[in-house]
Amino acid sequence: MGLINWHERYSVNIAEIDEQHKQLIKMINELHDAMMAKKGKDALLPILNQLASYCIKHFSIEEKMMQQHDYPDFADHQAKHQKMTAKVKALINDVQTGKSSVTIDVMNFLKSWLDKHIMGTDQQYAPFLNSKGVS
């Protein structure tokens, strides 16, 4: 059983975004499994890098949808994306340089962030975009 499981409550009723959220969950679970198996940074860094790249891609797609439909809280949502991107990049740098390692605290941070982001911020834009016909 993974650290995070997909629940329908996560759905934003936008198929592309829901699939991306499922992929993010899969990647976080993969990182968690590798950490629990006590794999070294040589195994963990590629997963972290893939997660960071995927987050950037996912955020870009969300932002494009919001811009296309003039989502009123776009700037705030984009700022949250930028903050998370910076945190993940800093984590990768810390792991690369040996300042940090992937620990249960890191995994709990990622789980909490994903849960709060999907259940909080993303659920705020979902009804707006759904009302514009995005599904």
Residue 4 placed within a domain = no
- pLDDT surpassing 90 at residue 64: yes
| CATH number, position 116 | 1.20.120.50
Q: How many independent structural domains does the chain possess?
A: 1
Residue 19 placed within a domain = yes
Average pLDDT of the segment spanning 15-36: 93
Average pLDDT of the segment spanning 120-126: 92
Residue 64 placed within a domain = yes
Residue 44 placed within a domain = yes
What pLDDT shows up at residue 101?
81
Residue 3 placed within a domain = no
Residue 6 placed within a domain = no
What pLDDT shows up at residue 20?
95
Residue 91 placed within a domain = yes
The CB density around residue 26, as the number of other CB atoms within 10 Å, is: 15
- pLDDT surpassing 80 at residue 1: no
CB 62 within 8 A of CB 77: yes
Predicted TM-score (pTM) of the model is 0.89
Spacing of C-alpha 6 from chain mean position:
13
Question: Which residue's entry shows tokens 């950037």?
Answer: 56
Range of the domain at 80: 11-131
Residue 5 placed within a domain = no
Indicate the pLDDT class of residue 110, thresholds 50, 70 and 90.
Answer: confident
Mean pLDDT of the residues in the chain: 91
29-47 pLDDT, tens digit each: 998 998 889 888 888 889 8
Following DSSP, what letter does each residue of 9-44 receive, concatenated? GG--S-HHHHHHHHHHHHHHHHHHHHHHTT--HHHH
